[in-house]
A = this chain, B = another copy of it.
Amino acid sequence: MAKRGETREKILGAAAQLAAEHGISATAVDDIAAEAGVAKGSVYYNFGSKERLYAELLGETLQRAGQRLRESLDGARPGDAVRAVAEAFLRGLQEHPSSSKVVAAELFRLDRPWRESLAEYRSLFFSIFAEALEADGRPASPANAAAVFGSTIMVGFERMLFADRLDLEEAIAAIEGAD
């Protein structure tokens, strides 16, 4: 064992899971270490502080999501772009539910260390959705992008939390045709 980076992965996974349930502040580094099956010292050796640990978790999650959305947009036919981006987003939530929840809880916080990084990614997501609207020949104002992005997040979270209720097709149809 002790494959390169393996400890870091275990810690990041535990940190995501616990913060998804209890929030970042309410998650203790002791709990993260216990959940990851490592000693607390290892957490500090690998990440320096709790703050940097979560900054890294959020950064990784956001970057992965941004890449995924960008690729789905670039690969989509005009007329199908919003659908493609929304589907990519929903699949991302499904594959990384814990870190997604952590990001969601941070989305509207204004005074955190990772505030700027988060704001950048929010802008990125908005502009990807705006581009998708444009590619589909739909009005692409900031307000419209926010509306579609909001639908996508809310529908995605409903699916995640009450998974039995919404299948993927139904969810995407609701996002696309929110009116």
Interface residues of A (CB under 8 A from B): 21-26, 82, 101, 104-105, 108-111, 138-139, 141-144, 146-155, 157-158, 161, 165-166, 170-171, 173-179
Contacts and interface: CB of A to CB of B under 8 A. Distances in A.
Interface SS of chain A: helix
Contacts of A101: 108
Contacts of A158: 142-143, 146
Nearest to A133: B179
A110 B23 contact: no
B147 A21 contact: no
B157 A141 contact: no
Contacts of A104: 108
A52 to B, nearest CB: 17
A22 B113 CA distance: 11
Contact of A174 (B21, B143, B166): B143
11 contacts: A21-B110, A23-B24, A25-B26, A108-B157, A139-B177, A141-B170, A142-B158, A143-B173, A143-B174, A144-B178, A177-B179
A146 B161 contact: no
Nearest to A101: B108
Contacts of A175: 147
Contacts of A23: 23-25, 109
Given A143-B174, A179-B177, A21 B151 contact: no
Contacts of A138: 179
A178 B151 contact: yes
A149 B174 CA distance: 11
A55 B141 CA distance: 38
Nearest to A20: B110
